[in-house]
């Protein structure tokens, strides 16, 4: 009889241990399903219909997706984002890496102060950052324009046809450079100190140690930040949306794909086509990320 009770007790313990992880995961899965899976499923369902005056909401299958794939306005926005990424990502990550190496060198006074100072812009909401830089870029009221007027010089035009994209890229660099610097700095702090001592014994200086030892060791971290930067670049929306009032002729309704989807949904009430545009953009983000990771892994395996 004791053996029977012992077996039952062990069975209850086993069941409780096997069920416990799912009980802890249930709140997360509930919120994940309610706020991500369900909205995505509903948006995909919407993308399969088209609103018409005569027949109302009519099922059209993949017609909206075919339209999106042949939409010139959409692809112009995608091309602009690739230009934006080629302009912004190398500068942002390059500066983040340089500053992280400088802080990690141990030759900087007030290292914690500079580390926090570089990170502060990331804590500023993107809306505030865009409004702040919009004020700085202002051709009539901005401080750069006022300084130029004081010096009796022509005011710099940061929002012309040739400078609008670099100006938006500058906002993104200012926002996210410190965030990536903290990631690089944390990775550099994990590099064993013994390697630096060994390289110093071999006669390697600080620059040689950084290029030959530190950078190869944190390369996986660099690859991850590049991938996340690509994803963030292809989702650009806030900065051009808020800057558009300063450059209405240059930032149109399809300046970026996200801006185009927003305009279609909330200005033109084309919710079905807007949903299709969003899913096509998501597919482009997935393809771009996978392609980059594939190329990075192939190069690392050589």
pLDDT at 107 over 50: yes
pTM of the model: 0.85
| Residues 87 and 30 both lie in one domain | no
Query: What number is the average pLDDT over the span 145-174?
Result: 89
Query: Quick one: pLDDT at residue 197?
Result: 64
Residue pair 225/94 in contact (Cβ under 8 Å)? The answer is no
96/75 Cα distance (integer angstroms): 31
Residues 6+ apart with CB under 8 A from 155: 139, 140, 144, 145, 148, 149
When the pLDDT of each residue in the chain is averaged and rounded to a whole number, the result is 86
3-state secondary structure of 51: strand
Range(s) of the domain holding residue 8: 2-47
pLDDT at 217 over 80: yes
| Residues 11 and 129 both lie in one domain | no
| Residues 113 and 202 both lie in one domain | yes
CA quadruple 199, 202, 204, 208: dihedral, nearest 10: -60
| Residues 24 and 108 both lie in one domain | no
180/101 Cα distance (integer angstroms): 12
The CATH number that applies at residue 135 is 1.10.3720.10
108/111 Cα distance (integer angstroms): 6
Query: Quick one: pLDDT at residue 206?
Result: 64
| Residues 132 and 271 both lie in one domain | yes
| Residues 26 and 139 both lie in one domain | no
Query: Quick one: pLDDT at residue 1?
Result: 47
**Banded model confidence at residue 13, pLDDT cuts 50, 70, 90:** low
Residue 55 lies in a domain: no
Q: Token pair 């909206």 is at which residue?
A: 64
The 10 Å Cβ neighbour count of residue 10 is 10
pLDDT at 170 over 80: yes
Query: Quick one: pLDDT at residue 4?
Result: 54
DSSP annotation string for 146-163: HHHHHTT-PPP-TTSTTT
Element (H, E) at 50: strand 49-52
pLDDT digits (tens, 9 = 90+) for 112-121: 888 888 899 9
Q: Which residue has the higher pLDDT, 299 or 90?
A: 90
Q: Which residue has the higher pLDDT, 266 or 155?
A: 266
Query: What single-letter DSSP state applies at residue 108?
Result: -
Q: Token pair 């594939």 is at which residue?
A: 294
Query: What number is the average pLDDT over the span 145-167?
Result: 87
| Residues 107 and 201 both lie in one domain | yes
| Residues 122 and 252 both lie in one domain | yes
pLDDT at 33 over 90: yes
Q: Token pair 């086509």 is at which residue?
A: 273
Residue 60 lies in a domain: no
Residue 62 lies in a domain: no
Residue 167 lies in a domain: yes
Hey, what are 284's tokens?
């482009």
Query: Quick one: pLDDT at residue 113?
Result: 85
| Residues 32 and 118 both lie in one domain | no
Hey, what are 82's tokens?
């690739």
| Residues 14 and 156 both lie in one domain | no
| Residues 124 and 219 both lie in one domain | yes
| Residues 207 and 99 both lie in one domain | yes
pLDDT at 111 over 50: yes
Query: What number is the average pLDDT over the span 247-263?
Result: 91
Q: How many domains does the chain have?
A: 2
Query: Quick one: pLDDT at residue 12?
Result: 59
pLDDT at 205 over 70: no
Q: Which residue has the higher pLDDT, 38 or 17?
A: 38
Q: Which residue has the higher pLDDT, 190 or 52?
A: 190
Per-residue CA distances from 287 to 230, 280, 281 (Å): 11, 11, 10
């Amino acid at each position: 009889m004791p053996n029977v009770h012992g077996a039952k007790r062990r069975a209850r313990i086993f069941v409780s241990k096997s069920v416990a992880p799912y009980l802890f995961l249930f709140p997360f899965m509930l919120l994940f399903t309610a706020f991500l899976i369900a909205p995505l499923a509903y948006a995909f369902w919407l993308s399969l219909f088209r609103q018409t005056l005569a027949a109302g909401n009519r099922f059209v299958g993949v017609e909206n997706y075919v339209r999106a794939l042949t939409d010139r306005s959409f692809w112009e926005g995608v091309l602009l984002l690739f230009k934006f990424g080629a302009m912004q990502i190398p500068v942002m990550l390059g500066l983040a890496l340089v500053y992280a190496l400088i802080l990690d060198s141990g030759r900087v006074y007030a290292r914690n102060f500079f580390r926090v100072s570089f990170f502060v812009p990331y804590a500023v909401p993107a809306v505030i950052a865009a409004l702040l830089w919009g004020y700085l870029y202002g051709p009539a009221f901005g401080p750069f324009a006022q300084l130029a007027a004081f010096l009796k010089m022509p005011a710099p035009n940061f929002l012309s046809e040739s400078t609008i994209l670099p100006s938006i890229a500058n906002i993104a660099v200012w926002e996210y450079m410190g965030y990536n610097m903290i990631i690089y700095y944390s990775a550099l702090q994990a590099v064993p100190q013994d390697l630096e001592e060994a390289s110093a014994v071999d006669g390697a200086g600080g620059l040689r140690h950084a290029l030959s030892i530190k950078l190869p060791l944190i390369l996986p971290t660099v690859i991850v930040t590049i991938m996340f930067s690509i994803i963030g670049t292809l989702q650009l929306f806030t900065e051009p949306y808020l800057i558009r009032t300063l450059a209405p002729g240059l930032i149109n309704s399809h300046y970026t794909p996200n801006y185009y989807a927003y305009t279609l949904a909330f200005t033109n009430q084309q919710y079905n086509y807007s949903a299709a545009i969003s899913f096509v953009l998501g597919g482009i983000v997935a393809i771009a990320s996978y392609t980059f990771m594939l190329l990075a892994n192939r190069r690392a395996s050589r």
